Amino acid sequence: MIWFTLRQFRAHTWVTGAGLAVAGVVLTITGLWMADLYATSGLATCQRGCEALVANFLARTEPGANTTALVLTAVPALIGIFWGRL
């Protein structure tokens, strides 16, 4: 019986694992890009009067933040839909 159950869920496991791997790659690339931008923008060493640097940083990272929010929202929902279909 356990063998039969494992056979039924094999495809689900591979698809879920692949989806999580893709989400991990997207989040890693986005995180590294944002960390590099933070370090090179001068914001990391700013002490006072950083409003312009903060505004510039937020304007440049908005697409990355939107991608991160989409991945963190969509991936769990898709996993729930995929596993809940059974």
- Asked if 54 and 43 count as a contact pair (C-beta separation under 8 A), the reply is yes
For residues 56 and 40, the answer to whether their CB atoms sit within 8 Å is no
Mean pLDDT of the chain: 82
**pLDDT over 70, % of the chain:** 98
Residue with tokens 């995180």: 31
Reported pTM: 0.65
Q: Is 31 helix (H, G, I), strand (E, B) or coil?
A: helix
Alpha helices (H) in 1-86, listed in sequence order:
2-40, 51-84
Quick one: average pLDDT of 66-77? 82
Residues 6 or more apart from 47 whose CB is under 8 A from it?
none
